[in-house]
Structure 1
Amino acid sequence: MCDDFSEKPAFWHLKRVVERYPDKTAISDGSTSLSFAELLNAVQNLASAIAGSVPPGKAVGLLIGNALWYPVAMLAAMRAGRPAVPLNPRDPFQRLAAIATSARLAAIVKPGPGGPAGWPDASPLKWIDAASCMGATEGSFPALPSDPSVDAPAIVLYTSGSTGTPKGVVNSQRAILHRVQQYVDACHIGPDDVFMPLTGPATIAGCREMMTPMLCGGTLYLLDIESAGIRAARDNFKRWQVTVAYLVPALLRVLMNGAASDTFSSLRIVRVGGEKILWSDIDRLRASVPESCFVQISYSSTETTGTQWFLPRDYPEQGATVPVGFVLPGIEYTIVGEDACEVASGEEGELLIKSNYTTLGYWVDGENVPLQASSADPRLRIFATGDLVKVDDTGRMWIVGRKGRQIKINGRRVEPAELELVLRRAPQVNDAVAVVTDANELVAFVVPARAGGSEFITELRDLIRTALPPAVHPTRLHSVAEIPQLKGGKVDGVKLRDLDRALNAQNAQNAQDVRPAADPLDIAGVAAAVWERILPGKKAAGSHWDDAGGDSLKLLQFVMELETALGRELNLEAFTVGMSFADVVRAASPGQDTSKSRVDASDAKPILFIVPGSIGYGPSLAAFGAEMGTVAKVVAVRYGDLNDLLKGHDTIPLMVDAVVEQISQAQPEGNVNLIGYSLGGGVAFEAAAKLAAAGRSVTFLGILDTNIGPGRHNYRETLARTVQRIRTHRVTVDRMILRALAKLFAQFGAEAVLARGIDWLKWGALARTRFILRLELEEILRMRAFGQWLARPKPALPITATLFRCRRTGVPADLGWSAFVADLSIVPIVGGHLDMLIEPYLSHNRPLIERAFLVRGA
C-alpha cells in the first residue's frame, strides 16, 4: 500500500476498490452476499441515516454481532463522522445499557426495527434499522457531510476497566488504517484472499480483520461461532477456502484439536495473538495447516499496535512461550523499571509506546479525554501498556507478564476490579476480592454479610451471569470468613492463592460421582464422560460449567464432542456457560430445550411457539426466532431423535404429543400462538386440533409455506431446491452421497439396519460421517411420516389460520389449507422455501409475519 494510505479515510479507499471490483463479492455469510458496489450503496444509505439521527460529536452504538451488517455499520459510522461504540449482543443488556448511558449514545444501530426485547429503558435512544437501509432509494436520507478527519474519534471500544467499570478506548481512522496497512504489506494480502474472522467484532482485532479485506478487494465471510459451533466453523474454512485467519491461542486449541487433515488446507497465513502463545500451540497449528502456510505472531492491544514477525520453522524453542517479534514501523518504545527509568538491555520492565497511531484517549461522558502527548513532538502520544516485557540482543520482544492485575481470557481483556465491584454491591456480601492464579484463572473470595447455606454462592453466581460477560466470570467462587491482609492493610494475594489451592483440592476430594438415573441412551453417562475429558479433574455431577473452570470456547468444544458421541445435532442456544450438569442432560435429551423451557412471567409480550420443519430447529429458524423476539416471547419446540423415529413410521402423532407437552410446560394456561415451518405447519395444525379438543384456545396459527394440496410432488421444484442448497453451500457433495444412502435404506424399510451401522461409526473421521448420516436419516424418516399424514383425512378446525406463501407454480394459491380451517388469510412473501427466513428476504418477510401475529396473537 502507498505511504499515505492512512492519510485518506476508509470510505475513500472503499470507493477505489469499488471502481476496480464492482461486482466481486465483498461480504457474505453463506446465504446473503453483498458485492462491492452493493456494499458501497449500503454504507452510504446507513451513513446518511446515522448522520440524520446522531448530532455531530455524539456517538452511535452498534448492537450487531459477527454478522453481515456489522462491517457495513462500522464503515457507515466512519463515513458519517460519528464515533461508533460496538456493543457485544452476547453481553448482559444491563451492562450494555450502562455503557450506552456512560457513552452518551444518541442512537444504536441493529438489524431490525426497535430495541431488543429485554433492553433496560434507562435512557432515551433512537434505534436505527441497518437492514432497512439496504433497499432505500437515492434521496431517502439527508445529504452526507464532507469526509471527516482521519484523526477524529472513529471507534470507541469498551474494555474491562481497572476502576471496576468498563472504559472506552478511542481509536482514530488513522490508527485503524495503519493496522490495515501493516497487515496488508506484511502478508501481501490482495483480492484473491478470503477472510473469516472468528474474534468478536467489538474488539480491535475484529475491526482490523473486517476492514482489511474490504479495503484491499478481498472477500469477507462472516460466521458467529458461538451460534454455529466449532463443527460449522471447520466446515466453512474448507467450504469457503479461507486463506487468512487470526486466532487467539484458546480458540486455536479448540478449533484444531481433532480436526480432519484437510480442514485448513487453503490457509496461507495464520496470525496468532491476543495472549501468551505456547510452543505447544505452534506445534498444534503446524500439524493442522499446509507446510507452505506462514505463521505470523503479533502483539498489540486495544490502544496500540506493537510487534509482529513470521515465526521460522527452524527457530529454536526457548522457554514455554513464543517471542512476539519485532517492534513495528511508526512506533517508538521504552522499557522502564519500577523507578520509571529505562532498564538495561535484556532486563524486564514495563513497555511504554510513543506513536501517532496509539489511542487518542478515553471516552468519558461522551467526549474524548486525550492521552498524554510527547513534549518533544505533540503529535505523538505516550501509552503505558502495563505489559512487562524484555527484548533480547536480536531485537525480539518477549512478554513476561502484567504490571497490574489485568489478564486476558480468550483474547479478551479482564480486570478483576470489575468482578469485585459487582460482588461488593450485592447486599448479601460484606467484602469481595478477586485474584489471578498462576494458571491465569480468575478466582473470587466473598465474605457473607450473614450466615448462609449453599444457596449463597448460587445467588452470587446468578448475579454475576446477569451483570458480566462470560470472560469476567470467576473460575471459582469461595465463601470465606475474612479476607487475609498484610501488615499494611493490603490484601494478601499470596495467602489467597494458597487458600484457593487448598479449597479446590478439598472440593475435588469431596466431590461425589453421583449421576442422575441412567436413561435408555445413558445421555448422562455420555455427557459426563465428555465433560470430564474437556475439564480434567472436574466431576460433572452436581457441578456448573463455569464453576468447573469451563469457558465459552471450551463449551463449544463440549457441544461438538457431545454431538459426535450422541450422533445427532444439538441446539447450541440451549447451552450456556452458567448451566449445571443437570441442565446439560436436559438440553441433550430428545425434545428438550433448556434455553426456552421457562418463560419470563415479567415479560408482557405474548408467547409464540415455533414448530420446526423436518431438519429441526436449525440456524436460520433460530435467527428468525431471535428476530421475532421484538414482538413475542419465542419458544422453540423440539422433536424426538432417531431412536424415537425408529419406534414406528406413524410419527406425526408422536411429534404432536411432544409439541403439546412442551406447550403445556411453558404455558400451562391461556391463549396459544403457533407458527410452523414446512413439515412443522402440519404438526402445528394437529397440535392446534389437540389443544382445542382439550379446551385450549388457539388464537394464532401461522403456516410457513407448508404445501398439503395437489401438486406438492413437484420434482422440478425439488431439483431446483437441491441445486440451490449446493450453490449456497448448504450441502456438500459428500453429504448428498450420505443422503442418497439414507434414502436407499429407508426405501427398502431397512432404516433400523442403517441405524445400527451408524452406531459403529465412532472413531476419527468416521465420527463426522456418523453425525451427518444420522441427521439425514432423521430428516428422511420425518418427511416419510409427513407424506403418510398427507394421505390421511384431516378434520376441519373452527379456527383462523394465516398462510405465508412463497411464490410457487402449478399449485393452488391456498396450498390446500382452505378446506381444513374456518378462515384462511393468505400473505404472499418473497424468497424460496429454503431461504425465506434469511436475509435479504427476512427483512421483507418478518414485518409481514409480525403484523399478522400482532393482529391475532394475544
Structure 2
Amino acid sequence: MLETSGYPRLESRFRRALPSVGGPTTDQDVVITRNTSPPDGFTWKQASTRPLDMDGPTTRAFPRMGEDFSEKSAFSHLERVVERYPDKIAISDGSTCLSFSELLNAVQNLAGAIAGSTPPGKAVGILVGNTLWYPVAMLAAMRAGRPAVPLNPRDPFQRLAAISTSARLAAIIKPGPGKPAGWPDAPSVEWIDAASCTAATPGGGLSALPSEVPVDAPAIVLYTSGSTGAPKGVVNSQRAILQRVQQYVDACHFGPDDVFMPLTGPATIAGCREMMTPMLCGATLYLSDIESAGIRAARDNFEKWQVTVVYLVPALLRVLMNGSAPNTFSSLRIVRVGGEKILWSDIDRLRASVPESCLVQISYSSTETTGTQWFLPKGYQERGATVPVGFVLPGIEYAIVDDNACEVAAGDEGELLIRSNYTTLGYWADGENVPLQANSGNPLLRTFATGDLVKVDDTGMMWIVGRKGRQIKINGRRVEPAELELVLRRAPQVDDAVAVVTDSNELVAFAVPAGPGGSEFIAELRDLIRTALPPAVHPTRLHSVAEIPRLKGGKVDGVKLRELDRALNPQDAQNTPMARETANPLDIEGTAAAVWERILPGKRAVGSRWDDAGGDSLKLLQFVMELETALGRELNLDAFTVGMSFADVVRAASPGQVTSSSLVEASDPRPVLFIVPGSIGYGPSLAAFGAEIGNVARVVAVRYGDLNDLLKGHGTIPRMVDAVVDQISQAQPDGNVKLIGYSLGGGVAFEVAAKLVAAGRSVTFLGILDTNIGPGQHNYRERLARTAQRIRTHRVTVDRMILRALAKLFAQFGAEAVLARGIDWLKWRSFARTRFILRLELEEVLRMRAFGQWLAQPKPTLPITATLFRCRRTGVPSDLGWSAFVTGLNIVPIVGGHLDMLVEPYLSHNRPLIERAFAVSGA
C-alpha cells in the first residue's frame, strides 16, 4: 500500500503509531489511506470483459470452479477434490508425499492443534520453507480460522522474532518439535510440530475447530518491506486468495493432469497462489527449494517430474533458461511470468527453451490486490522495451490519475488506483487488522492506491512504467529503501544514513560515520545488515560519506547522491581485466574471477565479497552454475553464500570440496565412501586422503556446521548425526552405505550407522580411524604427547597454543558466546590471522566438548562388523573400547600418530591397509 499517496481528495488521514519491528520507528507517523467517496474529476473504469483464456488453452477441457467459488472456504473445496481424487498424489517435496486423502487428514489434524493452542482471532506463524509442510500449514490455519503469518526461514532470526512480537503471534508452526536454536525465548508463543499432523487419527484439538470460517475474515498476513522502515503485514482474506485461484484456473484450464513446481518464495502472495491452485483443482504440487538444490537440480526436476506449470520472475527466468539442454522443459504447457518488468529479450529466451505449444502468461499484481493478466500471442508486435502486462482482471474497478487526482488521458501515464471486494482487508498491527475504510454503499468494496505508474491504451492494454515512490522490486520481492535506512540509522556508529534507487534499479546506501571510519566502518555495517535484513534489502553498494547532500528545504538531494555513487563506483575498463575471460579452467582463481566479473560487471573479484559487489542469491546460483561449466565438474552448493568473499569462493571451488548432494551416477563403478571428519572439520589432510583412495572409492566428505551453528546448539553429537544422515540421504538415497570416521568423526559415524540401521538401511563398512572411547581417553600423558605432536608436526606456534587455551577457558565457563562476540569485533586487518585461528580453535573445542558428553552416555550394540584403524598407543585397550558396541571388530594397526597418520610419509603405508579393509568388506 502507498501510505502517503498525495491525493487529498482520496483520503481522510489519521495518524496512528504502529508498533515497529525491532524497535521504535523514526519520527514519521504511518498514514493509513482510506477512501471515503470517489474523488472529483474521474469515474471508476470497469474491468475488461475479455475472456480470461483468450489466446490461451481455449480447447482444453477442465473442471470449472463455479461462480460461487470464492463464497466457500478453501477447506470445503479441498474436501470436494478429495472426493474425486482420494488416492492421487497431491503434494511431494522429493522426500515425502501426501495423497489428497492424506493431505486432508494432515490439514485437519494440524488445524486441530492450531485451534487448541491459539485463541480465536490470534495469529499463527508458519516458519516453514519451500517444503511439503508449508501448504499443509497454510490450509490448516484457514481451517482453524486463525490468520497465518508466513515467516521466511532464510531471513535473519532477529527480524523474524521481531515480526513475531509485532504480530502478537500466539503460536508458530515449524517442522520438528520446539523452537529453533537461536530463537529468543518467548513464553507466550506455542511451538507446533508440523510433521506431527500426519497421524492416522485426528488429534484432541478438533473440538476447538469452528464449524464454519467466514471467507472475508483475515486469512493470510504477508509481511513486506514498509515505507516507514518497519515491515508491514498485508492482510488478505480467503475470498481474495480464492479469487486469484479461480481466475488462474479459468484462464489456464488446470486439471488433475497438471503438475506445478513453484520456484517463488512461499512467504509471498505468488507463492500462496501457486500452492493453493493445484490443491484446489486436483493437480499435483511438487516443491523444490531452488536456493538449496541449485539451478541444475531444478532443471533436472522439470524432466523428472514432468512439470506442466511454472511461475517465474524475470531474473530467475534468465538464469534458468540460459544454457539449458534442449528437452529440459519439454513437458511445460504454461509459463507464468511476473513480479517485475519483463523485457522482450526475456520472452525470446523463454520461447527458445520451451516447446512451441507452451503458452506464456504475463501477470501483474501486488500483495494487496490482483491486477492484470493475459496470454502473449505468438507474433505479437513489440512496442517499447518492456512487455505489456495485459488487461485488468474481472472483479476490479480502476482509475489512472495524475498528482492532482485527475484522470489522465488514454495512453498517458499516472498512478493506478484499484477498487474491489478482493483487495487487502488492511494492515496487521498489535495482533489485529487495521482495516481500510470501506465504500459507504458496499462494506466489502475497498480502494487501494498501488503506487505503480502505468499507462493504458484505448484497447485496455496496460504497461508498467515505474514507481511513484522509492519502492523497488528485486527478484520479485518488494523492497522499501526506508527499511535499510532505519537499520543503519539505529547503529551507534552512524550519524545519518540514506538509501537511494539508481537508474538501473539498484539499491545503494550512504552512511555518515559518528567518528573516524574507514574500511572497518563499512565492514561493520555490512555485518549489521546481514543479521537484520533479508538479502533483498541488502544494498548493492554501501558508501561512507562525510555528510548527506540536501536541498535548501532540507530534503535529501537524490540527484547528487546518484552522481556521487557513479563517482565512487567507476565502471571503466581498467576495473574489469578482460584477459581473465580466457582463463585456464585449471587455474581456479583465474577462472572464478572471470566468471565473477562477467556476472558482476565492473566488480573486481580479488579482495571483494559477493554481496558487497552487488551479488544476490539468484546471481549466486548463476555464478555457481557457470563456474561448474567452466571447471568441468560439480561444486558443493552449500559452500556458497551471498556473504562469502572471493577467497571463500576459491576455497569452495578447489578440488576435494565434493558436494554431498551429488547423486551416485550409474556410470561410476566405484562404491561411495562417506568421510566423517574430526573436531577440526574437513581440512587439507582429509581432502588429500580422499584424493589418494579415489581409485577404489568415490569419496564424499560430509560437513559440520560452523561456529554460528555451534553457538545455536547445533554442535551436539545428535545434531551432527542428523546433519550427516541428511547428507548421506541426499547423495545416496538407497543402497548399502559405507562410511569412515576420523577421531571425533568415529563416534559420529557410529551413531550415523545406528540411525541408518534403525531406519532399515544396510551399513556394509564402518571404518574408525583411531577414535578412543574406552578407558584412558582422559590420560594426561597422552594429551601432553598429543600437544607435543601438534607443535612438532604442524609447527603450531606459541600464540596459537595460547589462543587454544583461551578458547578452552571460555568454553569451560560456558562463555563461548562472549568470546565469539569478541572474535567478531576483531575486524582490523592486523588481527585477521588471530581472528581466524581463534574461531577455528573455538569450533574444535566446542565439538570436543560435545564428544566428551557423548562418551559419558550409554551406547547401543550394533549388529555390524566395524574396522578399527589403530595408531600405536600406550596404556589403552587394543580395541580402544569398541568391542562392546559392535558384534564384530577388526583391528588394523597403522603407523604414525593420531594427527599425522593420513599425511606423508605415513599415508603411503596406511592407505593400502585402509583400501584392503574396504575391499574385503564387500564394497
Q: TM-score, normalised by structure 2?
A: 0.70
1:576, distance to aligned residue in structure 2 (A): 1.3
The partner residue of 2:600 within 535, 551, 556 is 535
**Is the partner of 2:460 in helix, strand or coil?**
coil
1:512–1:541 contact (8 Å) kept in structure 2: no
Answering whether residue 180 of structure 2 is matched by residue 116 of structure 1, we say: yes
Kept in 2, the 8 Å contact 1:703–1:801? The answer is: no
1:230 & 1:140 partners in 2: Cα distance? 43
Residues 639 and 659 in structure 1, CA contact (< 8 A), matched pair in contact too: no
CA contact 1:272–1:298 (8 Å) conserved in 2: yes
Q: What are the residue-to-residue correspondences of 1:716-795 with 2, within 5 Å? A: none
User: Is 1:311 aligned to residue 372 of structure 2?
Assistant: no
User: What's the CA shift string for 1:235-291, capped at 9, x where partnerless?
Assistant: 001111111111110110011011111111111111111101111111111111111
Moved more, 561-570 or 295-304: 561-570
Write the distance in 1 (CA, Å) between the matches of 2:451 and 2:199. 47
Question: Match of 2:443?
Answer: 378
Structure (1 or 2) with the larger CA radius of gyration: 2
Distance in 2, Cα, partners of 1:590 & 1:640 = 13
- Corresponding residue to 1:823 among 884, 890, 909: 884
Structure 1 residue 467 and structure 2 residue 539: aligned?
no
Partners in 1 of 2:307 and 2:737 — Cα distance?
36
Deviation at 1:642, TM superposition (A): 9.8
Q: Does 1:188 align with 2:253?
A: yes
Shift of 1:535: 1.6
What is the 5 A alignment of 1:308-347?
308-347=373-412
Cα distance in 2 for residues equivalent to 1:366 and 1:706: 44
The equivalent residue for 1:479 is: 544
Question: Is the partner of 2:884 in helix, strand or coil?
Answer: strand
SS at match of 1:380: strand
- Following superposition, the deviation at residue 615 of structure 1 comes to 7.0
Match of 1:355 in 2: 420
Tell me what 2:648 maps to: 583
Measured at CA, do residues 262 and 68 of structure 1 come closer, stay the same or move farther in structure 2, by a change above 3 Å?
same
CA shift in 2, pair 1:273/1:139, >3 Å: closer
Q: Could you say which residue in structure 1 is the equivalent of 2:615?
A: 550
- Alignment check: 8 A CA contact 1:593 1:638 kept: no
Bigger shift: residues 462-471 or 534-543: 534-543
Secondary structure of residue in 1 paired with 2:111: helix
* 2-structure distance, mates of 1:646, 1:187: 52
Distance change in 2, residues 1:364/1:593 (3 Å): farther
One-letter amino acid matched to 1:581:
F
Say whether residues 1:571 and 2:636 are aligned partners. yes
Q: CA 1:509/1:425 → structure 2, altered by over 3 Å: closer, same or farther?
A: farther
1:687 aligns with 2:743: yes
**Pair 655,255 (structure 1): closer, same or farther in 2 beyond 3 Å:** closer
Work out which of the residue numbers 126, 131, 153 in structure 2 matches 1:89: 153
Cα distance change, pair 383–649 in 1 and its aligned pair in 2 (3 A) = closer
Alpha-carbon distance in structure 2 between the residues aligned to 1:219 and 1:522: 45
Query: Tell me, which stretches of 5 or more residues in structure 1 are unaligned?
Result: 596-612, 626-632, 692-696, 715-797, 806-812, 827-858
- What is residue 69 of structure 1 aligned with on the other side? 133
Report deviation, 1:566: 3.0
Once the 2 structures are TM-superposed, how far is the Cα of residue 514 of structure 1 from its aligned partner?
13
Q: Mean Cα displacement is larger for which, 45-54 or 813-822?
A: 813-822
Return the match for 1:164 from 226, 229, 244. 229
Give yes or no for contact 1:95–1:467 (8 Å, CA) kept in 2.
yes
- Matched position secondary structure for 2:569: helix
Aligned to 2:289: 224
CA deviation digits over 1:396-449, x for unaligned, max 9? 011111000000000000000000000001111111000001110000011111
With over 3 angstroms needed to count, the CA separation of the structure-2 counterparts of 1:229 and 1:339, relative to structure 1, is same
Out of 114, 122, 127, the position equivalent to 1:50 is: 114
Deviation for aligned residue 1:120: 2.1
Q: Distance in 2 between matches of 1:634 and 1:206?
A: 40
Cα contact 2:156–2:533 (8 A) shared by 1: yes
- SS of 1:381 mapped into structure 2: strand
Residue 189 of structure 2 aligns to which amino acid in structure 1? L
Quick check: 1:645–1:651 contact (8 Å CA) kept in 2? no
1:352-402 superposed Cα distances (whole Å, 9 cap, x missing partner): 000000000000110001113223433210000000011011110111110
1:412 is aligned to 477
1:486 Cα offset (Å): 1.1
Q: Are the counterparts in 2 of residues 196 and 223 from structure 1 also a CA contact under 8 Å?
A: yes
1:692-711 → structure 2 map (5 Å cutoff): 702-704=752-754
Mapped partners of 2:141, 2:859: distance in 1: 40
Deviation at 1:121, TM superposition (A): 2.2
CA distance in 1, matches of 2:226, 2:634: 39
Question: Does structure 1 residue 614 correspond to structure 2 residue 672?
Answer: yes
Matches within 5 A, 1:800-819: 802=859, 813-814=863-864
Structure 1 position 562, deviation (Å): 2.0
Of residues 2, 8, 13, the one that matches 2:77 is 13
What amino acid sits opposite 1:824 in the alignment? F
> Which amino acid in the other structure matches residue 6 of structure 1?
S
Deviation at 1:546, TM superposition (A): 1.3
CA contact (8 A) 2:603 2:613 kept: yes
Q: CA deviation at 1:567?
A: 3.5
In the other structure, the counterpart of 2:41 is none
Residue 296 in structure 1 maps to residue 361 in structure 2: yes
Counterpart of 1:427?
A: 492
Contact 1:590 1:640 (C-alpha < 8 Å) held by counterparts: no
Does the 8 Å CA contact 1:508/1:538 hold for their aligned counterparts? no
The DSSP-based 3-state class of the residue aligned with 1:154 is strand
Amino acid at match of 1:48: G
Q: Distance in 1 between matches of 2:751 and 2:687?
A: 28
> Does the 8 Å CA contact 2:672/2:700 hold for their aligned counterparts?
no
Alpha-carbon distance in 2 for matches of 1:103, 1:282 = 40
Report the Cα distance in structure 2 between the residues aligned to 1:616 and 1:259, rounded to whole angstroms: 31
Asked if the contact 1:800/1:822 (under 8 Å) is kept, the reply is no
- Do the aligned partners of 2:585 and 2:591 also contact (CA within 8 Å) in 1? no
Counterpart mapping for 1:594-613 below 5 A: none
- Aligned with 1:292: secondary structure? coil
Q: Which amino acid aligns with 1:135?
A: A
Change in CA separation of 1:118 and 1:590 when aligned onto 2, cut-off 3 Å: farther
Q: Which residue of 1 aligns with 2:433?
A: 368
Give the secondary structure class of the aligned counterpart of 1:383.
strand
Paired positions, count: 692
| Corresponding letter in the other structure for 1:435 | V
User: Does the C-alpha gap of structure 1 residues 116 and 316 become closer, same or farther in structure 2, counting only changes over 3 Å?
Assistant: same
**Whole-Å Cα distance in 2 between the matches of residues 61 and 659 of structure 1?**
31
Query: What is the rounded CA distance, in whole Å, between the counterparts of 2:600 and 2:539 in structure 1?
Result: 15
Q: Which residue in the other structure is 2:794 paired with?
A: none
2:198 aligned residue (134, 141, 145): 134
| Alignment-derived partner of residue 668 in structure 2 | none
> Conserved in 2, the CA contact under 8 Å of 1:9 and 1:149?
yes
- Structure 2: 5+ residue stretches without partners: 1-64, 661-670, 729-735, 765-854, 869-878, 888-923
Pair 1:440 & 2:505 matched: yes
Aligned mate of 1:388, from 444, 453, 465: 453
* Aligned-partner Cα distance in 2 for 1:713–1:683: 11
Matched, 1:236 2:293: no
**Letter aligned with residue 546 of structure 2:** A
Deviation larger for 527-536 or 455-464: 527-536
**Alpha carbons of structure 1 residues 263 and 505: separation in structure 2 relative to 1, 3 Å:** same
Aligned to 2:790: none
Contact preservation (8 Å) 1:191, 1:217: yes
1:295 match: secondary structure? strand
Of the structure 1 ranges 483-492 and 99-108, higher mean CA displacement relative to structure 2 is found in 483-492
TM-score by length of 1: 0.75
